[in-house]
């Protein structure tokens, strides 16, 4: 796991994150076909009109989830500062992967996303996770 990724997407954070993403999908009129959340990343498979760009979807989801999760879980607000110093305030990494599922079936993509859930997902320790966050999530 890269040093900047922390396994904080667990417990109640996952529940809130799913609700936020589902709301964003409804707001943008896109279909949330599959969503799998691992402790340090997520996979989202959506169906959208060609007029809605992958960048727009990614930007809105990352921006809004970052803001809303930090409001719900105050310890996440300063997580970047505690681990990487002042000036590092990114909840999500800058990059993302976007692919088109034109030549594969929806079921193949869903199966791939579900298979990722089991791969090394729970081998991580909550290293460096603030005590208050651990208490909130009961971990």
Q: Structure pTM? A: 0.68
Is residue 6 domain-resident? no
Q: What is the CATH number of the domain that holds 31?
A: 3.30.70.1290
- pLDDT of 128 strictly over 90: no
**Residue 77 CB neighbour total at 10 angstroms:** 14
Is residue 83 domain-resident? yes
pLDDT digits (tens, 9 = 90+) for 20-44: 999 999 999 999 888 888 888 888 8
Domain of residue 99, residue span: 12-137
Q: Measured between alpha carbons, how far is residue 71 from residues 11, 34, 53, 66, 104 in Å? A: 16, 25, 27, 9, 38
Is residue 101 domain-resident? yes
Our count of domains for the chain comes to: 1
pLDDT of residue 104: 64
**Residues in contact with 89: Cβ distance below 8 Å, sequence separation at least 6, in sequence order:** 80, 81
Is residue 53 domain-resident? yes
Is residue 130 domain-resident? yes
Is residue 63 domain-resident? yes
- For the ranges 17-26, 96-105, 110-119, the one whose mean pLDDT is highest: 17-26
Is residue 51 domain-resident? yes
Is residue 89 domain-resident? yes
Q: Check residues 118 and 42 and name the one with the higher pLDDT.
A: 42
């Amino acid at each position: 796991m890269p040093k900047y990724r922390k396994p904080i997407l667990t417990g109640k954070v996952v529940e809130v994150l799913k609700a936020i993403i589902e709301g964003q999908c409804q707001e943008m009129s896109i279909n949330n076909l599959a969503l799998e959340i691992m402790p340090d990343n997520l996979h989202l498979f959506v169906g959208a009109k060609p007029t809605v760009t992958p960048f727009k979807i990614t930007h809105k989801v990352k921006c809004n989830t970052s803001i809303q999760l930090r409001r719900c879980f105050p310890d996440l607000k300063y997580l970047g500062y505690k681990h990487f110093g002042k000036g590092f305030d990114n909840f999500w990494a800058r990059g993302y992967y976007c692919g088109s599922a034109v030549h594969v079936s929806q079921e193949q993509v869903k199966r791939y996303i579900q298979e990722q859930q089991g791969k090394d997902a729970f081998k991580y320790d909550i290293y460096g996770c603030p005590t208050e966050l651990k208490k909130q999530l009961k971990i």
